[in-house]
Structure 1
Amino acid sequence: MKQRNRTTAFRPNRRLLSCALASCLAMAAPQVMAQSTSATLRGAVTADSTITVTNVDTGLTRTAKATNGSYNIGGLPPGTYRIDVNAGGQTSSRAVTLAVGQTATLNLQDAPPVSAPAADATNLDTVRVTAPMLVETRTSEVATYVSNKQIELLPQNSRNFLAFADTVPGMRFVTSGNGNESQLRSGAQGASQINVFIDGVGQKNYVTPGGITGQDDSRGNPFPQLAIGEYKVITSNYKAEYDQISSAAVTAVTRSGTNDFSGSFIWDRYSDNWREPTPGEEAAGRKSEETTEQYGVAFGGPIIRDRLHFFVTYEAKDFIVPEMVTRPNNTGHVNIPANILAQYGPTSRPFDQDVYFGKLSWQASDEHLVEFSARVREEVGILDVGGVNAQSAATALNNDEKRYDLRSLYSAETWMNDAHLTFEESSYNPSPLVNAPIIRYTARNQANDGDITLLNTGGGGSFQDKGQKGWGLQNDFTWYGWQDHTVKAGVKYKDVELTAFQQFPPNPRYIYDVAVNPGQPYRIEYTTARVGRTPFVESGNKQFGLYIQDDWQVNEKLTLNMGIRWDYEDMGAYKDYVLDPAIATALRGWTNIQNTDYDIENYISDGGNRKSDKDNFAPRLGFSYDLAGDQRHVIFGGIGRSYDRNLFDYMAREFYGGAFTTYTINFPDVNHPCNPSPTCIPFNPALLTPEGLAAFAAANPTAGGEVNLLSNDLETPYSDQFSIGMRNTFTVWGHDWNTSATVAHIRAKEGIYFRLGNRYPGGSFRDPAFPNATWGRQPWGQAIPGYGSLILGQNGIESKLNSLLLSVDKPYTEQSPWGVTLAYTYSDAKENRVNASNGETYVFDYPDAGDTFYLSNGVPKHRLVATGIYGLPWDVTLSAKLILESPTPRSATNCFDAPSNDNCFFDPYERSETIGFKQFDIALQKVWDTGTDLKFKVRADLINAFNWRNWTDFDDWRGAPGVANPNFGQRTGNGILWPTRTFKLSFGFDW
């Protein structure tokens, strides 16, 4: 089925804003992307000066003349620059290093010469070595930089460059289980709400969760680490140039070739022999097989000196990933058959990734830089092994991605234009490793009111094919010609085709009760495709964005940033969807919902009653005030709105719900009685065959299964952000230390969720026979006549975050070869659907999400990350990283404080321990300089050096009404977060 795209949002009067925005953008008519990676250098200078900046590595040159005693030079790739100031026939020079996306202030009117003005290569090398890093203090953003030194030297075991973002207050790099999936999160929002900009190009995942493409269910890296120069993390109040984001923005710059040929090679490895066993492995008496090898090579240099440069890199991962198939907790009362017990214990699965990146940089003239970059990511692996999934129940994953970017950056004396033409293609394709029926073994729990899954075997349980493919065009225009103002305006257009398919389960599922009859199933679940419906959804998706912003330096102390952004998205699969007339008729005739808490007409789409939202206006206002005008003590703050987007995976559920009919056949036994009906029959061995299941479906036709419907007026998720803080630079022991303290409030709204639309006769959500019930007794048996249950999708997920962000930084430099960072975050986080921050989108325990807020299950209250880098004699470098967290709140249902089991309620809790997570990593690197251009290095990383165990299994049951559970909050199993203490050895060389 083919259709197109859509987005949603907010509600001010649009006419005046539209006219103002359109007129301001008239000057920026060209196309393509944000200059969020380019640096800007500005400041005071002698009135008649000419300022020339030269990149010491590539020869890139920019020249500007003073205007009323000030200068402003933009479009500078991060790096080290020699600055030549010519005034009255005299030239003075100095050197600085500029960071990614930085707006640096450097006053030059009294600048003494610090190096000779000659432009020979020897002098350039001297400048590069001694150039200080300018610190950006006059920004309203809550932003922190991650340097190349930190990426290169801090201990790590993943080679995922995003892992270093957790050194920033408010950020967490979250790894699930034993590293099966790594995601970057900020505050009380999930990973899907971030965006990562690489060389200014957003890497947003439009289809599946994870925030950026390729990170859903993947151990892989989104980008080769050898290609990343440095990056900036903005946790709130980003400027208007950033889009499709309501949480944190990461803007990274890739490495480019220089005038010198250079290269690197890196290889590291560890295995199960180099790590401590997990508690589960200790109990089993053996370890899971494990091998981790990561290697890569990078090479760059000049094709034409000062004009044309190249850079290429390749990185790979070859893993044997350890897993543990475990007997579930609370099953001591079950006599589990030997053939099932034999499948518990250590096991492993493979994972392989290859990532390629290449970049050409052409300095066509002193004003014009043209770049072309390409990235290809290929990975294959096995999922869904471990826990209660045996090796045969595995899912095979193919996860591929391609991205290309053609960039044109043109700088004139008073303006600059930055344009990108992009293409992207990504696919996420998990499918059963073994195409066979799924076998599930269960047992009755001790309360005899439900089943516990003991083991899944047979075939895999997931079949999906999801992806995005298309091109984009963006343009950013910056004008410096208005005194004391830097005005930036941009336009963006993308045309991306989104695809999605899923089938659960992909093969019949046979469910056995091991206590009753381990040789005969008591239930069969399977799906058949509905005639006339295709489960494959294909949707054209058109995105359009405009913004304008002004950085106004009111005086030498006060700077204001004022901006507004507008985004529009057209998603055909949502907007043009036509509900099957037979289903619409059944819904309109369903008496149960004629007098309930929703109007079914708000969910019935006829292909013409849904509109793409045009109200996504996002104003942003920020300020910074330099108390002494010397950039050492700056108060900053801001307020703004930022819109994200609705994932296509959610928007396509209208198709998934109607594409397959789900059959459930029950064979009654002592633990699973049922009333005789077409779906409750005596056991028939023929139903163990595909032919028997097909015959049953043909003999028992149904009009359809579960029906999923979306609201006809969906809005776009967004966040409102407020912050106030102060940055300081202090000189201690002859070294500059940078500190920052920020108080931030973020309120996220309109997240999409799905609720049960079934109702009892009369319209109630709870069983009318129990009028005092506030929990349970949902109308699951009250399905649409002739169909299955009704699931309604709408906006309503919200989160609230109040946070204190503290940071201390003493940068590592060649002159002062040691560095320290401290990042502390206090978070008061709430959400109105438990586990929403962890990706939960279903609300079935209540009629809707409601306005009750709970402790967020995704955010610890206290978090401290400390890092250190210290240069020792003989080219040895020692580095370390410490992470401490208070316990992350856990989900819990409170029946203990309820009058009955019909009055339970959500009640998340924090465990009483002071420390909920702790990890200390250390690394030691030795470099041998051969006296030529070749340097060898050996490095040892000790991850989780003290083998601290971060337990994951706890008893979250508070107890029955009036009867407390004495084990509430206590540890129940051997599960831990990886890694255990692990030794990793790396070799490499640079030339």
Structure 2
Amino acid sequence: MKASMQFKKKLLVSVIATAVAAVAMPTMVMAQSANATLRGKATPGANVTVFNSQTGLTRHATAGQDGSYIINGLPPATYRVDAGPGTEQNVTLTVASTGTLNLAAPATQGPSANAANATQMEGVSVAATTLEEVKTPEVGQTISLHQIATIPQASRNFLEFADTVPGMVFSVDAKGNTSLRGGAQNNSSTNVYIDGVSQKSYVKEGGVSGQNNSQGNPFPQLAIGEYKVITSNYKAEYDQVSSAAITAETKSGTNEFHGEVFGTYTNDAFRNRTPIEESTGRKVDSESKEYGFALGGPIIKDKMHFFIAFEQKKFDTPISVVPNSINFAGDVTPLLPANVQSELGSANLNFDEKLYFGKIDWELTDRDRIEISTQVRRETQISGIGTGTAPSAGVNNENHDTRGTFKWAHSGDSWYNELILTFENAYINAFPLQPGNGYTYSWQPDTNNPTIITTGSADPRATQTKSQEGPSISDQFTFNDLEWHGDHVVKFGYKFKSIELKAADAAAQSPQFFYDVNPTGVSSQPWQVFYASALPGTSGVAETTARQYGIFAQDDWSVNDHLTLNLGVRWDYEVNPSYNNFVTSQRVLDAINSPNPYAGAAPGSTYGDALAAGGVNLNDYVSDGHNRHSFKGQWQPRLGFSYDLFADEAHVIHGGAGRAYDRNLYDYLQTEVTKQALPQTTLRFNIPTHPCDTTSATCVPWNPEFLNGQNVLQNYLVGGNAGQEVDMLNNKLKAPYSDQFSLGMSNTIGEWLTDATVTRVLSKDGFAFTLGNRYPNGAFFQNGSQPWDYPIPNVGGLILGDNGIQTRTTQVLLSAQKPYTRESGWSTSLSYTFSHSKQNRDINEHYSFDEPTIGDYPFITSNAVAKHRFVGTGAVDLPWGISGSIKLTLATPLPKNAAACYGQIEPNGSNCMPMAATPSGAKFLVGGDIWGYRDVDMQLTKDFVISDDVKIYARFDLLNVFNWKNYADSDYLVNWGSDGILNSRPVAVNKKGNITYLPRTARFTVGLKF
């Protein structure tokens, strides 16, 4: 290497290292590659060649003066690596990893890595060493194809296996809806990358597009090769994520045709009864069907291949319909009307999903690889039924997602570049199952009027349309051969996305009438109605084209054989015209500045004066279309290290610290527009049993004509504004983020991989809506009640949107894995998570009306994560072509987070205080009554070999073997106490309520592989 070139490289690395350390260089979001990197030492000047005989992929690198070599952009697979006679080795690289392979010694010396596993290469079974990535600060694990194929499974969602990683929780609720959460943050803060492309949801919750309250899968499982779960301290490539990042590699075709066909079936005859079915003595008909196929093969041998997959799921999921738990009230069911009681018990949730995937890869040259892929999701689902909602008030959801990706990777002598172009179109349509009025029954003795149950047509806010559509371009450039006090791999990346976001928040239909329930029965007249009405000349659809920008820089610096530093920084920026250019309505401003009409207001004072006295600075919320600017502070240093004690990858200390920004969902930002165009009106009826303040414009006499529906109500207030809702967002909204810290040690002991890590994650600036209404003197509480009847005069209730939700979580993550090898015939994984987490608001609840501001909420024990959680799996090859596996999951009960009302007046005037309480658990071998979740799953598979290339298999899964009832935390029975005395055990499980996961269920699968 010439001296001038060496000097330039040294200078470049110096500049990069200085910039990263100073956090002064803009870094950017880039689609995280799922490809692997191979690095190590060989004879100086040697030509290192990697070759995949199944696809023909070939890559080359030249070892430097110190013998080091690096090859980037390798799809996870088995390769033959050659650096000259006597150095040939067969190795397997895993997804999104960096494997170390030294080739200077004879092949028999091999790397210190996982035991050899049999792999087909050129039609011959050969031994290939799996190169496990251990020198990394990232906290997480890789889910192998063997785990996906063998671990018992309930959902056929490939993300379900992430449940085996410490710090992760995959849950299936009573409605069959699935969710994945990392640490104590909500599922919206996760992100999934498939072949390096983000699947982020920009409008609705759920983290992944289409995964909010869905029984469906984001991607066909047959098309997933393997994936990596990173719970914290990811590198700078990862964007729009503040908790767990999952990066998956899809399958590709090879030089031989291979395929698979499967079908899975179960129904109510093969499951135990749910708790509500046990109490009623009747089992609801239910059925589950899953089937699909995959096929891959060559188009041009060694050059071009294809892979296609299709999967369909059809479910009828049983659900328990029970009233909400009411404090002090006990069982209120007998007080409800007979027609309402008839809807309680068991019901069914229908679900149908079709998933498609197609991919073509082309090895254009030994330096260029092109991939073109598409994925399609079509889904319909009945939802909303369950606790507090009767079947008549259910919602029909349509969930569609279509994506296309073009990827071009080019390898130079000492550099690598990956260009990705994408397009996505995802939308959700939701509408009530039946038209007409809705009826909500509320508990009158509680001044907060908590809902018991809703029947009739679903709430007008159930009618929603949310979508995201648009293209993106991203590029990542990697320098492989940079030397300066060690070896550097330096990456730069950028991304631009133009995404059209749409949101319709409600529809002018299905008014909801509220009826009082008390110990004497049900009121004959409603005390309140809620409905939406369209303002003439406006649209109830918010629409904007957001522009997302990002850049990043990452330096993976091998200082020596012991120490590796990972220094990264990124910067994200988003422009959302819907938020930035919004103009507050003049009618709202006029109403705020008008005389305060409420009793007790000082003469001449305005409603704005009451807001100011109550701590609401209107200048923070009133927008003139020019005083809002996109947040530019999303600088995210990502710093990590690993120290290999003996330079053999057997004992490695690792740690890191970094910041990761997520984004504010458009579902929150659009409310200013949609609430203004489609006002959502709440009127109180002045009836003898539930009077209201007749001086308020929202208090009107009851008229039976109102029951004639939407048109009567909408015409009632023609030309008026009373009873509406006004949403105002802070003019200086920031993006939510988390600061992540970790320190741990990984060990390789024989075939075992172990890790012990302590993490600390502080998440901040989560979004929350609070109640802006104030009493005339500025107070938020009077007589223990919020100022619900004191909205903006002649307009409606004021809702303020701010940043402020926080979590503070410390976790101890312990894991031990023995990966599967054909030689040993078995595998196991053990993971334990201890969590100590506090939060100032339920992470799944962004409406926060119990305190004046989000800053007034105390930090209480989080209901997002169990204190103790253990997951163990094991798989074994048995005689006669049989294999089996088992999974054990244990967790302590989740706390209840709620406003505790027990007759105690707090210093701020409230009679309720946000509080956490944990119910008693159940037994499992050790620990006594401490377990809130207990589950054992098992599966057996029998292979019938037809020929060398064809086999039929039959699989039997038995889920929740012991039929343990894991009662849902959403159905906890609550009695905080009374007369100012807090109960010592205020929370208990509801043994007639819904359960998490499934009752004991048998599933039967048959399939063909060829």
Give TM-score, length-normalised by structure 2.
0.90
Cα distance in 1, alignment partners of residues 20 and 593 from structure 2: 39
Q: Secondary structure at the match of 1:481?
A: strand
Gaps of 5+ in 1: 1-15, 116-120, 771-775
- Residue 7 of structure 1: aligned partner: none
Q: Structure 1 residues 123, 886: CA separation in 2 closer, same or farther (over 3 Å shift)?
A: closer
Name the residue aligned to 1:475: 475
Partner-residue secondary structure (3-state), 1:130: strand
1:785 corresponds in structure 2 to 793
Would the aligned equivalents of 2:851 and 2:857 in 1 still touch at CA under 8 Å? no
Which of 529, 535, 541 is matched with 1:536 structurally? 541
2:508 matches 1:499 = no
Hey, what's the Cα distance between the residues in 2 that align with 1:325 and 1:842? Answer: 26
Give the aligned partner of residue 608 of structure 1: 626
For residues 114 and 935 of structure 1, do their structure 2 counterparts lie closer, same or farther at Cα, with a shift above 3 Å needed?
farther
- Cα displacement (A) at 1:714: 0.7
Structure 2 residue aligned with 1:63, among 49, 60, 65?
A: 60
Give the letter for the 2:676 counterpart.
G
Check conservation: 1:266, 1:987, Cα contact below 8 A.
Answer: yes
Superposed counterparts of 1:79-478, under 5 Å: 79-86=77-84, 90-112=85-107, 124-125=121-122, 129-179=126-176, 181-327=177-323, 329=325, 330-332=330-332, 334-442=334-442, 444=444, 450=449, 452-459=451-458, 461=460, 462-478=462-478
Verify: 1:687 aligned to 2:706, yes or no: yes
Distance 1:961 1:929 in 2: 72
Cα deviation per residue 1:279-314 (whole Å; 9 max; x = unaligned)?
210111111111000001000000000000000000
Distance 1:18 1:48 in 2: 31
Distance 1:753 1:337, change over 3 A: closer
Distance change (3 Å), C-alpha of 1:765 and 1:555: same
Match of 1:283, SS state, is helix
8 Å contact 1:500–1:652 — kept in the other structure?
yes
The equivalent position to 2:941 in structure 1, one of 901, 918, 925, is: 925
SS in 2 for 1:608: coil
In structure 2, give the amino acid aligned to 1:81: Y
Q: Could you tell me how far 1:433 is from its partner in structure 2?
A: 1.9
Aligned to 2:955: 939
Query: Are 1:861 and 2:867 an aligned pair?
Result: yes
Residue type of the alignment partner of 1:956: V
Looking at structure 2, the residues matched to 526 and 312 of structure 1 have their Cα atoms a distance apart, in angstroms, of 47
In the alignment, the residues of structure 2 paired with residue 811 and residue 967 of structure 1 have an alpha-carbon distance, to the nearest angstrom, of 44
With over 3 angstroms needed to count, the CA separation of the structure-2 counterparts of 1:442 and 1:765, relative to structure 1, is closer
Q: Secondary structure at the match of 1:155?
A: coil
Partner residue in 1 for 2:615? 597
Instruction: Specify the code of the residue in structure 1 equivalent to 2:945.
Output: D
Take 1:896 and 1:20, find their aligned partners in 2: how far apart are those partners? Answer: 53
Deviation at 1:400, TM superposition (A): 0.1
Question: What one-letter code is carried by the residue in structure 1 that aligns with 2:955?
Answer: R
Distance across 2 between alignment mates of 1:70 and 1:517: 80
Contact 2:174/2:319 (<8 A) preserved:
no
More divergent stretch after superposition (616-625 vs 331-340): 331-340
Aligned residue type for 2:617 = D
Q: Residue 343 of structure 1: CA displacement? A: 2.3
Stretch of structure 1 that moved more, 270-279 or 35-44: 35-44
1:636 corresponds in structure 2 to 654
Structure 2 alignment gaps of length 5 or more: 1-17, 111-117, 595-607, 922-929
The number of residue pairs the alignment matches comes to 948
How has the CA–CA distance of structure 1 residues 126 and 286 changed in structure 2, closer, same or farther, with 3 Å as cutoff? same
Which is worse superposed, 855-864 or 612-621? 612-621
Aligned residue type for 1:502: D
Whether the 8 Å CA contact 1:374–1:403 is kept in 2: the answer is yes
Compared with structure 1, are the counterparts of its residues 617 and 126 closer, same or farther at alpha carbon in structure 2 (3 Å cutoff)? Answer: same
What amino acid sits opposite 2:621 in the alignment? Y
> In 1, distance between residues paired with 2:749 and 2:829?
14
Question: In structure 1, what is the Cα distance between the partners aligned to 2:821 and 2:732?
Answer: 54
Amino acid at match of 2:674: Y
Identity over aligned pairs, percent? 42
| 8 Å Cα contact 2:682-2:724 kept in structure 1 | no
Deviations 1:790-822 (A, max 9, x none): 111111111111111110000001222100100
Q: CA deviation at 1:463?
A: 0.3
Task: Say yes or no: does 1:721 pair with 2:718.
Answer: no
- What one-letter code is carried by the residue in structure 2 that aligns with 1:471? P
CA spacing shift, 1:219–1:505, aligned 2, 3 Å: farther
Matched AA of 1:741:
A
Using the TM superposition, name which of 652-661 and 249-258 deviates more. 652-661
The 8 Å contact of residues 82 and 127 in structure 1, kept in 2 or not, is answered as: no
Q: 1:272 to 1:852 in 2, by over 3 A?
A: same
Shift in alpha-carbon separation, 1:969–1:665, aligned structure 2, 3 A: closer
Within the candidate set 616, 638, 641, 1:623 is matched to 641
Is the aligned partner of 1:882 residue 2:882?
no
Letter in 1 for 2:62: K
Summarize the alignment of residues 653-692 of structure 1 with structure 2, pairs less than 5 Å apart: 653-674=671-692, 676=694, 680=699, 682-690=701-709
Between the aligned partners of 1:61 and 1:979, the Cα distance in structure 2 is 47
Q: Which amino acid is 2:143 matched to?
A: V
Contact 2:509–2:710 (Cα < 8 Å) also in 1: no
TM-score norm. by structure 1 comes to: 0.91
Deviates more, 1:475-484 or 1:981-990: 475-484
CA contact (8 A) 2:434 2:456 kept: no
TM-aligned CA deviation for residue 448 of structure 1: 8.4
Deviation digits for residues 658-690 of structure 1, max 9, x if unmatched?
Answer: 223344444444532335566555543332224
Code of the aligned partner of 1:208: K
1:990 is aligned to 2:1009: yes
**2:812–2:833 CA contact under 8 A, matched in 1:** yes
Go from structure 1 to structure 2 and tell me whether the alpha carbon gap of 1:273 and 1:524 turns closer, same or farther (over 3 Å shift).
Answer: same
What is residue 12 of structure 1 aligned with on the other side? none
Counterpart Cα distance in 1 of 2:705 and 2:120: 85
Matched to 1:935, the amino acid is K
Q: 1:681 to 1:962 in 2, by over 3 A?
A: closer
**Alpha-carbon distance in 1 for matches of 2:456, 2:398:** 21
RMSD: 2.6
Partner residue, 1:72: 70
Contact 1:860–1:888 (Cα < 8 Å) also in 2: yes
Is 1:40 matched up with 2:40? no
Which 10-residue stretch deviates more, 929-938 or 850-859?
A: 850-859
Of residues 561, 564, 570 in structure 2, which corresponds to 1:559?
564
> How far did residue 963 of structure 1 move?
3.8
CA deviation profile, 1:311-362 (whole Å, cap 9, x unmatched): 0000000111212223555234844333332222222131100000000000
C-alpha distance in 1, partners of 2:19/2:546? 25
Q: Does the 8 A contact of 2:623 with 2:731 survive in 1?
A: yes
Contact 2:440 / 2:451 at 8 angstroms: preserved in 1? no
More deviation, 564-573/447-456: 447-456
User: 1:171–1:186: 8 Å Cα contact kept in structure 2?
Assistant: yes
Tell me the distance in 2 between the aligned counterparts of 1:695 and 1:841. 26
Name 2:605's counterpart in structure 1.
none
